[in-house]
Amino acid sequence: MTDSTHGPLPDWLIWQHRPFPDANLLLITGREPALIDSGFVGHAADTAAWVDAHTRELHRVVNTHWHADHVGGNALLQDRGVGIAASVPDAAALARRDPGCCLAEYLDQPVAPYTVDEPLPDGRILRLGDTDWQVVSTPGHTPGHLALWQPDHGLLIVGDALSDYDVGWVNLALDGPDAAAAAAASLRRLTALAPRVVLPAHGPIPLDPAAALADAQRRADRLVADPDGAVWYGLRRIFAYALMIRNGIGTSAVEAYLHARAWLIDAATLLHTDPEALAAELVGTMLRNGAIVVRHGRLHAAAEHSVVPPGSVCTPFPRAWPAPGDDPAAAQRRLTL
């Protein structure tokens, strides 16, 4: 995809649309250059090369939330001296090295170890490039999700609060039955800002921000009204992503893979069924509606996505990450457990 430095965007903001498994690239240039989210770990070198092509020195990465498609380049960039900023809840969990960090283990999605240098509370004013941005807490898709608001230019960075003219999936099993209501409330908060430009982490820049936000609001309200539908929405998104980052899963292996997944087991509980029946229904439903396809004995996601380098998924989960300030020998022992 080509970069965008024209149209509705000021020339100091560089945007590139990327397909899954990555988030879009968004660079705010100026005296304190900032990258918003860093994509999937398998494409971290590509992300870093793109940054290098547009700025001599990156000051910080700001994560809208900690899912694998948003923080995968953090480790590489942090090793190069770039600061990482994220919400207070995400920063606190990462400082403790909670096993649930980034939902990496829960979702079976790889994230290379990183730390948060700058916790961002709601309302914090943050200098990015040469402009001041306000941190807007937008829980729902994750409890620590945040957006960034630049009122002088009417620019709103929404992460996955609004995702490709839709709304990010919610996790009712981990985040509770009010997660969908939180997402809907966050969208109402963003809509009240009346942005001139909405910059999502996935999909194109909406031509009509108000209409895009209204569509997302209706979708979020439907998730509130239909908890089972919200569970199914998450199942489809998570499974499709699993297929993308593994370059497909063999038809003979997919049932065993799904039966071992915590996200599917939890969904089965919420839907009052058993994991084996739910796995079969999930695969069958997505095959029938064309969301997944069979090619050469493997199931693949049908949606546009980039090929992932082999070995990208072989990254230790957070319980094995080195703790901040840990000595290398102790870190290595955990990585080999």
Per the model's pLDDT, the better-predicted residue between 201 and 2 turns out to be 201
Question: Using omega within 30 degrees of 0 as the cis cutoff, is the peptide bond preceding 21 cis?
Answer: yes
Give first-to-last CA distance, the chain, whole Å. Answer: 40
pLDDT digits (tens, 9 = 90+) for 125-162: 999 999 999 999 999 999 999 999 999 999 999 999 99
For residues 224 and 146, give the distance between their C-alpha atoms in angstroms, rounded to a whole number. 20
Q: Find all residues with CB under 8 Å of 324, minimum gap 6, and list them.
A: 95, 97, 115
pLDDT digits (tens, 9 = 90+) for 99-128: 999 999 999 999 999 999 999 999 999 999
Mean pLDDT of the chain: 94
Q: Which domains, ranges and CATH numbers included, belong to the chain?
A: 3-225 (3.60.15.10), 228-301 (no CATH)
| 241 burial via Cβ count (<10 Å: 0-12, 13-18, 19+) | buried
Angle at Cα 110 formed by Cα 121 and Cα 97, nearest 5°?
45
**Nearest CA-CA partner of 216 in 159, 154, 277, 132:** 159
**Is residue 327 very low, low, confident or very high in pLDDT (cuts 50, 70, 90)?**
low
Amino acid at the residue 36: I
Q: Kindly tell me if the per-residue pLDDT of 189 is higher than 70.
A: yes
Q: Kindly tell me if the per-residue pLDDT of 175 is higher than 80.
A: yes
pLDDT digits (tens, 9 = 90+) for 191-246: 999 999 999 999 999 999 999 999 999 999 999 999 999 999 999 999 999 999 99
Q: Kindly tell me if the per-residue pLDDT of 328 is higher than 70.
A: no
Q: Residue 7 has what pLDDT?
A: 56
Q: Kindly tell me if the per-residue pLDDT of 182 is higher than 80.
A: yes
Mean of the pLDDT values across residues 183-194?
98
What is the pTM for the complete model shown? 0.94
And the tokens for 203? Answer: 């999909």
Concatenating the DSSP letter of every residue in 8-61 gives TS-TTEEEE---BTSPPEEEE-SSB-EEE----GGGHHHHHHHHHHH-S---EE
Q: Kindly tell me if the per-residue pLDDT of 181 is higher than 60.
A: yes
Phi, psi dihedrals of residue 157, rounded to the nearest 5°: -95, 120
Q: Kindly tell me if the per-residue pLDDT of 2 is higher than 50.
A: no
Phi, psi dihedrals of residue 21, rounded to the nearest 5°: -85, 20
pLDDT digits (tens, 9 = 90+) for 268-290: 999 999 999 999 999 999 999 99
And the tokens for 158? Answer: 């929404």
